[in-house]
A and B are shown apart, each in its own frame.
Chain A
């Protein structure tokens, strides 16, 4: 039921670490150990190289597209300790901001829900998580959570924007009181949930279940239910689905999706959160769905990569 519709030959000279579709599934951004970030137009099964961005001095680990209402903006993070934000201006892509506030490799970047503004979370091997907020006129404000994870932070993922009591109509024009949260995964085998309180970021929850480094976390999109769901995957080959039933976010319970035979690198949710894509060192990308009895079943697998499949992204148009 899942078929390959396009193969993009990126001409990257080294391993590809991440590939992300933009919001509409019309563009693909890839990044590699060859230090470059490339952007392709992949409409109608084509592949036209739009940009080859150079600026990093080491392998680039992840890329993330910002919401289109802010323009065409892409963030990238690298072993070189830098986070670069690229912007398309007058048809060309250029570096618009460079953040060098980390002491070692930055492993993960994730844009916050557009409702919060233009905010980027970055997780680094120095154990810290930085939050870069665009304040206007090319200026970015930085907030840092030091020692978020001992040894290092490998992944960050934002919770969807949900206003507490959002079932009640907000009078239009009033800015809703968002409670900002995101999840992070680290080398301390933990998944942590962070909450913003009085402009400070505090650790709200510690989720323990993995026995090795957590490689990726993905907070599922909301379909209006009071439950929250997070997927996490680890060096220990396990993928857990964490659910929290109450709105206050106090009790999270894990369910094991599957134990794989090799490290699992990435997890990614579909737009309506009913399918989870998982990719791992065992060369496969598998798609999972929750069945009637609450168990997760694999609905298909795509066995196409040579070498470990290191990145997976779910979009409306395409999955990969």
Chain B
């Protein structure tokens, strides 16, 4: 049975067509270019600070896009679109989550101490499910009476937000004077908790010592049963002691295993070293998921990051994400941090270039984003140029403006083949639309002699039919490009003849006319027209052609008529015969006059 009569058109990289992502592509392009051009000479700390800033810039672009996407989702009434936008928001959110972690671990390469602080910030920024609950409680009239009060306190504790936790607890203490004692002790413990600092005010060893003391103090209070009568406070104390079960009980408030990981680290290993993260990460994920659910792609990516397996992170992201934007830019940044060993890949010189090539190639199918793609190709040293050459020829040259844009790009990069090709295409297009002037200037630009000849012939044919030239400006200003083809030269010179004639510079015009024939610039087919053009000059009151010139003209005429194989045809064609006769007569008359003139002595 015959197949259906339908043809399917299929495409990859659909994301570039999503309007709201446009900002992402445009702005990240700016950041990318800035990074490529940035000072490589800056060493050590300043370079690192610069790279961290670049990373933050990328992240803020992602967040801005998320905002826009969120707005779009909220304001649309189309449920399908809304679904699409919401999906995009979660994807962008995941991307920012991953990027942020990579920034902490790889770009900034936070050391033990600051590492924990960064991770805490990371968790606070990204685990947002509890935000509305927090707001609700804080804004209520009597927070300590709110049924979710203790949940919020727990959230603060779990996220290491000690000041906020203490503030809330103080409200509870005022409301419940009986627990004042317990409260004071707990508050004190929380106040004294040793935390890593960003400056150089304490070494890790100092911190560890202080922390050990504090830990023991908490332990004593717990064992003494100080908090026994208030289960909430007791559980907080257990959390402070890093009791995994107590922390895990608050699973719903943490929502993710990586929150659990950071909380664990905060309360049991605040001086954790980067390389130790992997062990805690794996066990945290196992404990949190508890065999009930299996890790999702996002979890695997984050895990790979905690394990410092950069390549794995990139690989997993490439598989999961629907376009190359994320991996291309992140990898480029990591490459600038000199973190990627150059695994020489079979097909794309190295990972960075491979991903950039893929990303940029995708941009080329878009009617305006392709311009961004050009810059990306420029920064791919191995294959960027050839990829650009192949892609740029396929951009539809829908308008002259676009063609000029593409041309400029090719000319800037000395892509001569592509320049010629594009000019030829434009010339052909113009010719098809009967825009001879445009066609001619394109073929001159393409240095296409054959085409220039073709078009010149058309011009001349037009002239013969209509008696005038089109596109005079162009022909008058040909300049040296006239020499591109013989026919073009003739066209230019012939037009010059007409100009001279129009300016009544008859002797010059006459000389030029003759040269056109004798120097064989004019094609034989045109001689008759030229000779006919000579007629008015011969008929002038003044004598223009000298004797010698007249003899030349006569010779040309004879050459023309003698060479005419089809004598019969010539004889039959009355117009032609008449013309020839008139010419002979005019030439003879001129000759007579000029002989007399030249033979006369002046003043005699």
Contact = CB atoms under 8 A, between A and B. Distances in A.
Interface of A: 1-16, 19, 23-26, 28, 30, 32-33, 42, 67-72, 88-90, 114, 172-173, 221-224, 271-272, 274, 285, 290-294, 300, 302, 304-308, 310, 315-320
Interface string B1-32: 11111111111111000000000000000000
A28 B432 CA distance: 20
A204 B428 CA distance: 36
Given A3-B11, A9-B6, A316-B391, 15 more contacts: A11-B5, A12-B5, A16-B7, A32-B5, A67-B421, A272-B390, A274-B347, A285-B10, A304-B10, A306-B4, A307-B3, A316-B364, A319-B10, A319-B11, A320-B10
Contacts of B383: 223-224
B7 A8 contact: yes
B14 A305 contact: no
27 contacts: A3-B10, A4-B9, A6-B8, A7-B6, A8-B6, A10-B7, A24-B395, A24-B397, A69-B428, A71-B432, A88-B432, A223-B390, A224-B386, A271-B391, A272-B387, A290-B346, A290-B347, A292-B345, A293-B346, A300-B12, A305-B3, A305-B4, A306-B3, A306-B4, A316-B365, A318-B10, A318-B11
A270 to B, nearest CB: 8
Interface of B: 1-14, 322, 345-347, 357, 361, 364-365, 383, 386-387, 390-391, 393-397, 416, 421, 424-425, 428-429, 432, 447
Contacts of A315: 394
B9 A15 contact: no
Contacts of B393: 23
Contacts of A307: 1-4
Most buried by A among B4, B8, B9, B347: B9
Nearest to A9: B6
A68 B425 contact: yes
A46 to B, nearest CB: 11
Nearest to A44: B367
Contacts of B3: 15-16, 305-308, 310
A300 to B, nearest CB: 8
A71 B365 contact: no
Contacts of B425: 68-69
Contacts of B6: 7-10
Contacts of B10: 2-5, 285, 302, 304, 318-320
Nearest to B432: A71
A172 B449 CA distance: 13
B10 to A, nearest CB: 5
Contacts of A15: 2-3
A219 to B, nearest CB: 14
Given A9-B5, A272-B391, A307-B1, A1 B432 contact: no
A7 B11 CA distance: 12
